[in-house]
C-alpha cells in the first residue's frame, strides 16, 4: 500500500511569506505527527493529532506555526511570516495508534518537505 506522502518535496519562499505544507498519512492511521529536522540534527517534535484534534502542540516554536487535520486524514502545516530560521526539512509521520510507553506502534515517515526561506 501507499506510504506517507508529503507535498511539495521542496519549497523555496521569501522571508515574510506564508507557506503550507501538506501531509497525506497511511490510510486508516489515526495518529499523525509533524517533526522538523535541521541540517545535521535529529528530528524535533512539533505537533501530533489523534483524529481531527491536536492532542499535543507543545513543540510548535511560536504562534506563526499552526497545523490542521479537519477530516482526520490529510494534515496541513501552516507557517506565517516565514523567517530564515524556519529553513529545515519538515517530516510527517503516521501511526496506527497513539499509545505511549512500551507499546510498539512504529511511526512511518514521509519523505519530507525541504523548506528554504531566502
Q: Which stretch binds other proteins (CB under 8 A): 11-19, 20-28, 41-49, 80-88?
A: 41-49
Least distance to other proteins, CB of residue 81, Å:
26
With 0-12 / 13-18 / 19 or more C-beta atoms within 10 angstroms meaning exposed / middle / buried, residue 96 is middle
Q: How many positions of this chain bind other proteins (CB under 8 A)?
A: 32
The rounded distance, in Å, linking the Cα atoms of 50 and 72 is 8
| Binding of other proteins by 59 (CB under 8 A) | yes
**Would you say 46 or 117 has its CB closer to other proteins?**
46
| Binding of other proteins by 66 (CB under 8 A) | no
Identify the residue among 7, 20, 44, 64 touching other proteins (CB under 8 A): 44
Sign of CA dihedral 85, 53, 72, 93: positive
Who's near 58: CB < 8 A, 6+ residues apart?
45
The rounded distance, in Å, linking the Cα atoms of 54 and 109 is 18
* Residues forming the site for other proteins (CB under 8 A): 31, 33, 35, 40-45, 48, 55-56, 58-59, 89, 91, 93, 95, 98-104, 106-112
Amino acid at each position: 500500500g501507499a506510504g506517507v506522502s508529503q507535498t511539495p518535496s521542496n519549497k523555496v519562499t521569501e522571508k515574510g511569506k506564508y507557506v503550507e505544507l501538506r501531509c497525506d498519512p497511511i490510510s486508516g492511521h489515526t495518529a499523525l505527527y509533524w517533526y522538523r529536522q535541521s541540517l545535521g540534527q535529529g528530528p524535533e517534535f512539533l505537533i501530533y493529532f489523534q483524529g481531527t484534534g491536536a492532542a499535543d502542540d507543545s513543540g510548535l516554536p511560536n504562534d506563526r506555526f499552526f497545523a490542521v487535520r479537519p477530516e482526520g486524514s490529510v494534515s496541513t502545516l501552516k507557517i506565517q511570516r516565514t523567517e530564515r530560521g524556519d529553513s529545515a526539512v519538515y517530516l510527517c509521520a503516521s501511526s496506527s495508534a497513539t499509545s505511549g510507553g512500551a507499546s510498539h506502534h512504529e511511526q512511518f515517515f514521509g519523505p519530507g518537505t525541504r523548506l528554504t526561506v531566502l
